[in-house]
Amino acid sequence: METLWLMITNLGRDEVFIVVLALFTWLVRPRGGRELGVAFALSYLLNSALKYGLNLPRPFTNDPSLASEAARATAGGPGLPSGHAQMSATLWLGIAAQLRSTGFTVFAAVLVAVIAASRLLLNVHYPSDVVVGLLLGVAFALLAARVHFPQAGALRWGVPAALLVAAALIPAGAPREFGTGLGLLAGFWAARPTFAPPRDWAGRLIVAVLGLVMVFAVYFALGALPQELKDMGVVRALRYAALVLVATEGVPLALRRWLPAQAGAAQGAPQVVH
């Protein structure tokens, strides 16, 4: 049974989040994907700040026998709040809040619930860790659906520049999550998706496959940098900012035959794709 719960808990991995955010942006709601990405990055940063600020233990901290080695391998950093619960809720419920489809909302809620349950059944989190993570995830999901993050004028590049400066000031030995979160936020803040999603299934399939190949090629190429470079906060931030911009700007440019420019798209204004 543990194998099943490990498979479910792995739906809360970074790679899954990358795939879902990319596909939602390309195929469903480009501007909404940018707003969701900003909210996701803010959620990630708050989760990291609370984890390392509170530094609360996990169930297996004092007794490693409570969780298997495979289960402990899915647990990074201190316990509260649960990153799997919070980030899954931010992503899936954020999409549901934008789409306002009853069927998808039920699917998203069930998926988030089973991912959260897996953290308890694998004994890698206390119930309080999961509950707090879910509540924060719901809050950021609503933020993604109801707030437009402005980027007019100097804001588009001024905010990312400030975030990268902050990443450069991260002290050596600080948790890697801070550089990652600042990079994600910088990339999504600067992103300006003004393309239209493909209208036919063939176009959607082509964009999904070729787009993901491009994104993961960059992901693994940047991951191959020397470890001493990757450990630097500013380099980690630049890696993730570049990854986001490749997904939101590079892929649409390369696949513009299937992702044409949105007619009349206003620069920096909310975009609604039905």
C-alpha separations of 31 from 175, 191, 266, 269 in Å: 31, 9, 11, 9
Closest CA to 148 of 13, 61, 35, 17: 35
SS (H, E, C) 168-185: HCCCCCCCHHHHHHHHHH
For the chain, 274 residues long, give each residue's pLDDT as a single digit of tens.
889 999 999 999 889 999 999 999 999 999 999 999 999 999 999 999 999 999 999 999 988 888 899 999 998 889 999 999 999 999 999 999 999 999 999 999 999 999 999 999 999 999 999 999 999 999 999 999 999 999 888 999 999 999 999 999 998 888 999 999 999 999 999 999 999 999 999 999 999 999 999 999 999 999 888 988 888 889 999 999 999 999 999 999 999 999 999 865 544 444 443 3
Question: Contact, 187 vs 242, CB < 8 A?
Answer: yes
Closest CA to 88 of 20, 6, 38, 31: 20
Torsion, CA 62, CA 68, CA 70, CA 76, rounded to 10: -20
Enter the tokens of residue 192. 């300006």
Question: Contact, 67 vs 123, CB < 8 A?
Answer: yes
Classified as helix, coil or strand, 139 is helix
| H or E element at residue 83 | helix 83-88
Question: Contact, 42 vs 200, CB < 8 A?
Answer: no
Through-space distance between the first and last CA atoms of the chain, rounded to whole angstroms: 41
CA distance 95 to 156: 24
pTM of the model: 0.92
